[in-house]
Structure 1
Amino acid sequence: MLQQGKPDSAQPLVTVHNPMGYPPKVSRKQPADRPTSLDGKVVYLVDSRFDDSLELLKEVEAWFARNMPSVDVRIRQMANTYSKDDPQLWEEIKANGHAAIIGVGHCSTCAPAVTTHAITLETKYGVPTAAIHTEKFDKVVRSVAKMGGLSQQPLVFVPQPVMGKTPEELRAYVEGPDPISGKPVMKEIIEALTVGLSASAEDAQFERSTPRLVEPDTEDNLHAAFLRNNWTDKLPIILPTDARVADMLAATSRKPDEVVGHMQPTTNRGLWEYTVEKVAVNAVMAGASPEYFPVILALAAAQVSARGSTSSSAAAMAVVNGPVRNEIGMNCGVGALGPYSHANATIGRAFGLLSQNLQGGSVVGETFMGSLGNNYTYNNLTFAENEERSPWEPLHVQKGFDARTSTVSIFHGCRSTTFSLGLRKEYWREHVRDMLLGTDAITAPTLVLDPICARQFIDRGGFVNKQDLLDFIYETAQMPAGRYWDLQLVQNYIYPRATFGEEPMAGKLKPGKDELVHIFRPQDINVVVVGGESNGYWQIYGAHYRTTVSVDDWR
């Protein structure tokens, strides 16, 4: 709800647009019927396969063995990563079980997924289910449960962290109190599976909508209200008055009420819808000029959030190609990735603002859970490729577009960065390998090269064609299988997919621990040329390519 101050009678009242998108409709669901007791019943413990969740569930199993030995407890792991549905397992639980406990939700993406799976078991398969989470994600999962139509979904909490804890420490979690409710964890779980659930009064009144305009107020009060309501990036904004929004809309042939896309901060949070006008509102707030608007619309049409909620604190990168670069004065030379171009800066800022507002928010503790945060999110590494000084075809041509088409390409991740100057004659291959090993192993590398360094790759390696360089990067990025599989990120996100049989992940399980395996897929590696040739610097970002969108389609 919008919080505003008391109008100052000395200042004129101003009417501005509401920057938020349109929330998805919530369809209320019915929970499963509960048995009166678990004695003699079959209870499934479902491992979400994230960061030692299984170890905590083993302590739950041991608690049942000590305290309720008549309960038949069966541990099952989900077949793939926590983000995937597992209907085969749900059918098994429905056919053979009387209740389920699923966990542990202890990251910003797995906690919503665990809650969603619990709701699925409850409402689609008729299995009473309790979801275990760590207390850091209390607000997150309650929001997901409400969005999922079952606000009374049983949610039980243990302390954070679970990863790396000893069996004794995890046993203390299970035998101790829920840090949110203060009740004993196992008592809470037993009650959740045996006592009927009833909807709260709050749930009965849960309806949401987004008004087009904000109630008129003074400029000072509106600025304060936008800040309090988390509609900004905590920096000053331009108030989106009707006249300013109209000027922005005049830069596209699309109708204001045309739906551009849908977005959410992470999976299982509910897709919010947004129109051309809503994108224009956020573009105004960012200080963008109307001539930039087709690029901003293309970013919105990509439906990739620059404010994704992942505890790993990801950011986005946007690379503009084609004639629009020069038409609107984007910087692809000296300082292209810095605060030296109005177009680069405000287009990138608009990408962030439209992401957080059109997806339903980016609020710390609720819709954003990045543990460290990421400074790149202020303008999302937005720049134009230096096509004129690149020795290779530009990025958008590599992605299948005509060179005369204006596009924007979106990458996601940008958590790890390695940096170097040029390529030395003797050990340049080893230096490239070391840089690649410095990026995170689950986000493919995107090489960002000054034109000087790009030409050095040709001089040193003979990579006249960009594909030759991409092939070299793929072959160079290898490490011993034992080290690879011991990486926590690989265990969380790659290992479940490998055990499910998904290639090429599954093939990496075959080599011995000292044999080399490729870290990345060849099709995921990218190269972009940018910079003003003041020196041959270059960087490797862990940046996963998502999509390329035509800017011309949004003129």
Structure 2
Amino acid sequence: MTSSAGGDTSNGEAASAPHDGLVAVVKRDCPTCELVEPVLADIEARSSLTVFTQDDPAFPEAVAAKVHDADLGFSWHHDIETVPTLMRFADGDEAGRVLGWSRPEWEAFTGLTALGNDLPEHRPGCGSLSVDPAHADALEARFGSSGLSACRVEFGSQEDIHEAMFDRGWSDGLPLVPPTAERVAAMLAGTSRGTDEVVACVAPDLADCTVEKAAVNAVMAGCRPEYFPVVLAALTAVCNDTFNMHGMLATTMPVGPVFIVNGPIARQIGMNSGMNVFGQGNRANSTIGRAVQLIVRNVGGGRPGEVDRAALGQPGKVGFCFAEIEGVDEAATANGDGGAATDWDPLCTDFGFEAGTNTVTAFPGEAPRSVVDQLSRDPESLARTMAAALNAIHHPKLVLGFDAILAVAPDHSRVFVESGWSRQQTAERINELTTRPGAELVRGAGGIAEGVPEFLAEADLPKFRDGGLHLVHCGGGAGLFSAVIGGWVNGEVGAQPVCVEIDPWR
């Protein structure tokens, strides 16, 4: 985590437990606190009273025994939400409190009579500085149970913090949000998981990534706290032998993790499933995948030119994440998918989850490529277009080695849906149409050296392994386009898609 030059201050006297007796917490910038200043002086004269003042160390002038709660440590540790708060301590522990000003309550609480007879009987208090949004995140980061353990990197007063983060190699080439303790603490509020809990062992260095380390990188990526559960789930999805993140880094092919989010959480955090679904402009889509990639870089050591050996790479390696259209609602229509009705099951059902479950699927994929068919109005014709486009993945003569995502936009999905074709039926027909005679695919056929071995010449060969083609419903509601996202090598030497459930945030 970063901070500006200068050391932390300690809790000091203000955060220590007070002596037994009455304690008041006030601030000058509170009309009720100023109103009760003579009452506090009266209590001090007749009993034992210590006043903790949050802003002005000289306030209240009429009271002698006062402590400046300069770092708001006392107020934070004692959950002061309103000033004035009058408390009583016995044997070092709080024995009760009253909030605001109420003569009957103060007299009953202190056992003193005739308090503030010339004052109004009741006045509400003001908000404590310790819960003010201007201070709350900093106090949580400093005193909270989050227990931040990351080292602080001190920058000089004349140092440009953004350039300094570039110079230290933390960046993916784009500017980063400085991960201050306050921002990291705010990110951690997006999950109930402990800061030191290990989320995953991150390749290639096989380094443990704790919740706190994930939060640091999520901050740098530009995530909001409500995105954090998706980041944690996505990280879990890629850090296992099934997905094989290490192999994906080491390959020279232009592939990286593609994340597809299903369930109500996608709408709750404002993800885009509609217009420009793979493009810029949506914060959640743009930052969730980026956060995972930064974790792989900064925690796991997966840097381009080192373990990452991609010959070409692709822009999606910065971060590639989107949501799927599920059903139709007002939010979907506003998000640009045209309110396309569909009874297609969501992608997560391919992996055994029920529709409506919050999940993230990690797919080892390349950049999307457009599929154009503006004339087909029957499902058979459109399926043949899709099959022709899918056959070209990586090479038209290479089969069974690569999974794929077919992203079907609403104007195309409508052709299938209105003809009664389910997602599964559509996938099955496309799989049939991508099955070709081996004689067309062997090495040398068509004058092309690339191809499958000669012994497969007599076989009918499908383009995809069983379950290797995944249809996803997404995109804008105007335009007869879809897209293909080719996969990396599947099987033991490659990677498999992984779908995990997203833990809800508290």
Q: TM-score, normalised by structure 1?
A: 0.54
Query: In the aligned structure 1, how far is the partner of 2:199 from the partner of 2:268?
Result: 24
Contact 1:312/1:415 (8 A) holds in 2? no
- Kept in 2: contact 1:416–1:439 (CA 8 A): no
Name the structure 2 match of 1:551: 502
Please provide the CA RMSD for this pair. 3.3
281, 293, 296: which one pairs with 1:352? 293
Instruction: Name the residue aligned to 1:150.
Output: none
The match for 2:478 is: 534
User: Aligned runs of 1:13-32 on 2, under 5 Å?
Assistant: 13=5
SS of match in other structure, 2:271: coil
Q: Give the aligned partner of residue 187 of structure 2.
A: 248
Say which of 422, 437, 460 aligns to 2:391. 437
Find the counterpart in structure 2 of residue 512 from structure 1.
457
Q: Secondary structure at the match of 1:377?
A: helix
SS across alignment from 2:190: coil
Question: Which among 327, 343, 352 is matched to residue 391 of structure 1?
Answer: 343
Query: Does the C-alpha gap of structure 1 residues 283 and 478 become closer, same or farther in structure 2, counting only changes over 3 Å?
Result: same
SS of the residue aligned with 1:257? coil
Partner of 2:145: none
Distance 1:295 1:223 in 2: 26
Moved more, 303-312 or 273-282: 303-312
Residue of structure 1 equivalent to 2:262 = 321
Deviates more, 1:430-439 or 1:369-378: 430-439
The aligned amino acid for 1:438 is A
Alignment of 1:255-266 (within 5 A): 255-265=194-204
Structure 2 counterpart of 1:330 = 271
Matches of 2:383 and 2:185, distance apart in 1: 54
Write out aligned runs for 1:352-501 (5 A): 352-364=293-305, 366-380=306-320, 382-388=321-327, 389-415=341-367, 417-422=369-374, 424-425=376-377, 427-440=381-394, 441=398, 442-459=401-418, 462=419, 464-486=421-443
Following superposition, the deviation at residue 482 of structure 1 comes to 4.5
Counting aligned pairs with the same residue, the percent is 32
Residue type of the alignment partner of 1:249: L
Alignment of 1:193-272 (within 5 A): 212-218=150-156, 220-265=159-204, 270-272=205-207
Give the unaligned 5+ runs of structure 1: 5-10, 17-210, 488-492, 496-507
Identify the structure with bigger relative contact order (alpha carbons < 8 Å, sequence gap 6+).
1
Q: In 1, are the aligned partners of 2:441 and 2:451 still within 8 Å (CA)?
A: no
Correspondence list, 1:37-52, <5 A:
none
Q: Which amino acid aligns with 2:407?
A: V
- Give, in whole Å, the separation in 2 of the partners of 1:435 and 1:290: 39
Cα shift readout 1:96-132 (whole Å, capped 9, x = no counterpart)? xxxxxxxxxxxxxxxxxxxxxxxxxxxxxxxxxxxxx
What residue in structure 2 maps to residue 38 of structure 1?
none
Aligned to 1:295: 230
Decide whether the 8 Å contact of 1:321 with 1:385 is kept in 2.
yes
Residue matched to 1:499: none
Q: SS at 1:339's partner residue?
A: coil
Equivalent residue, structure 1, for 2:85 = none
**What amino acid sits opposite 1:410 in the alignment?**
A
Q: Give per-residue Cα distances to partners, 1:190-213, cap 9 Å, x unaligned.
A: xxxxxxxxxxxxxxxxxxxxx932
- Paired letter, 1:417: R
Aligned partner letter, 2:387: R
Asked whether the 8 Å contact 2:387–2:431 carries over to 1, the reply is no
Q: Once the two structures are superposed, what CA deviation does each residue of 1:385-421 show, in whole Å capped at 9, x if it has no partner?
A: 1102333011113322233321111101215635223
3-state SS of paired residue (1:448): strand
Instruction: Quickly say closer, same or farther: Cα 1:222–1:524, change in 2 above 3 A.
Output: same
Question: Cα gap change, 1:456/1:438 in structure 2, threshold over 3 Å: closer, same or farther?
Answer: same
- 1:297–1:554 CA contact under 8 A, matched in 2: no
Q: Aligned pair 1:308/2:249, yes or no?
A: yes
**Structure 1 stretch displaced more, 522-531 or 420-429:** 420-429
In structure 2, distance between residues paired with 1:14 and 1:397: 53
Tell me the TM-score normalized by structure 2.
0.59
The residue identity in structure 1 corresponding to 2:463 is I
Paired with 1:226 and 1:15, the residues of 2 have a C-alpha distance of: 20
In the TM superposition, residue 226 of structure 1 has moved relative to its aligned partner by: 2.5
Task: Tell me, yes or no, if the aligned pair for 1:391 and 1:454 is still in contact at 8 Å.
Answer: no
Give the direction of change, closer, same or farther, for the CA distance of 1:429–1:277 in structure 2 (3 Å limit).
closer
Q: CA deviation at 1:243?
A: 1.1
Farther off after superposition, 425-434 or 235-244: 425-434
Task: Mark the CA change 1:450 to 1:14 in structure 2 (over 3 Å): closer, same or farther.
Answer: farther
Query: In the superposition, relative to structure 1, how do residues 553 and 547 fare at CA in structure 2: closer, same or farther (>3 Å)?
Result: farther
Q: Report how far residue 521 of structure 1 moved.
A: 1.0
- Cα deviation, 1:512-537, whole Å, max 9, x if unaligned, reads 35x53112112111000012311231
Residues 360/486 of structure 1: CA separation in 2 closer, same or farther (3 Å cut): same
1:494 shift after superposition: 11
- Secondary structure of the 1:549 match is strand
Aligned residues of 1:292 and 1:343 also touching (Cα < 8 A): yes
Q: Does structure 2 retain, via aligned residues, the 8 Å contact 1:310–1:369?
A: yes
Q: Secondary structure at the match of 2:291?
A: helix
The alpha-carbon deviation at position 334 of structure 1 amounts to 1.4
Query: How many angstroms does 1:227 deviate by?
Result: 1.5
Q: Secondary structure at 1:433's aligned position in 2?
A: helix
Q: Does the residue aligned with 2:231 lie in a helix, a strand or coil?
A: helix
Distance 1:239 1:300 in 2: 21
How many Å separate the matches in 2 of 1:473 and 1:317? Answer: 22
Equivalent position amino acid for 1:293 in 2: F
Contact 1:450 1:532 in 2 (8 A): yes
**Superposition deviation, residue 234 in structure 1:** 0.9
Residue 282 (structure 1) aligns with: 217
Q: Secondary structure at the match of 2:257?
A: strand
| Structure 1 residue 15, shift from structure 2 partner | 8.6
SS of structure 2 residue aligned to 1:523:
coil
Give the distance between the partners of 1:519 and 1:435, measured in 2 at CA: 11
Give the CA deviation at 1:319.
Answer: 0.8
Contact kept in structure 1, 2:361 and 2:500, CA below 8 Å: yes
